[in-house]
A and B are shown apart, each in its own frame.
Chain A
């Protein structure tokens, strides 16, 4: 210990302190600050780039998810549309069928009515003709059978009976 104290040189201590402190301040201004600043800036840059890449990746994922969702929606919409179209088709067909039925029925009815009226007209016509005929026949018979009264009456009765049968 004594040797250490004896060896202590104040001059060397003074110079070491002076030079070291000077070196410390010079290096701080001209070396450490720029170096550490540049290193930090670089690290920040790398960190920023990494973060940006991460964000881009996330964005990409989002975009993919979005497009998938859109696709799904479109598909669903298409399905809905198709279903609607099918329904409409079925409706139209059903309606058309119904209408046709109704129309058909109407036509048939009309036709039946026509037929009926025609029939009636025809029957009336026939009746008229039969009447005419009967009258003519009666005239003829009358003309013919005027001689025989019994025969005349019988003939008229037969003829009338025939007509009734009709």
Chain B
């Protein structure tokens, strides 16, 4: 691994982390607002997080 690779990987992790964190936070807010829809929100949250994670991993392997 060269230095640019490591920096790139770090950037990817930061980006993906921020994205997933935001999804999680928003989902929490949504659940607090509508506790009866928590199941649907959780599912949507997991799917969105999984998609970001997938992109993140793909980028990590490319880096």
**Which residues of chain A have a CB within 8 Å of any CB of chain B?**
1, 4
In the bound assembly, the distance between CA atoms of A4 and B61 in angstroms comes to 8
Task: Return chain B residues, CB-CB under 8 Å to A1.
Answer: 61-62
Q: Enumerate B33-63 residues with CB–CB distance to A below 8 Å.
A: 61-62
Interface size for B (C-beta < 8 A) is 2
Mostly helix, strand, loop or mixed at chain B's interface? Answer: helix
Smallest beta-carbon distance B13→chain A, Å = 17
In the bound assembly, the distance between CA atoms of A92 and B62 in angstroms comes to 116
Of all chain A residues, which has the CB nearest B58? Answer: A1
Task: Return chain A residues, CB-CB under 8 Å to B62.
Answer: 1
Of all chain B residues, which has the CB nearest A2? Answer: B61
Task: Return chain A residues, CB-CB under 8 Å to B61.
Answer: 1, 4
Q: 3 interchain pairs (CB within 8 A)?
A: A1-B61, A1-B62, A4-B61
Of all chain B residues, which has the CB nearest A1? Answer: B61
Smallest beta-carbon distance A65→chain B, Å = 37
Which 3 pairs from chain A and chain B are nearest by CB?
A: A1-B61, A1-B62, A4-B61
In the bound assembly, the distance between CA atoms of A63 and B46 in angstroms comes to 53
Smallest beta-carbon distance B34→chain A, Å = 28
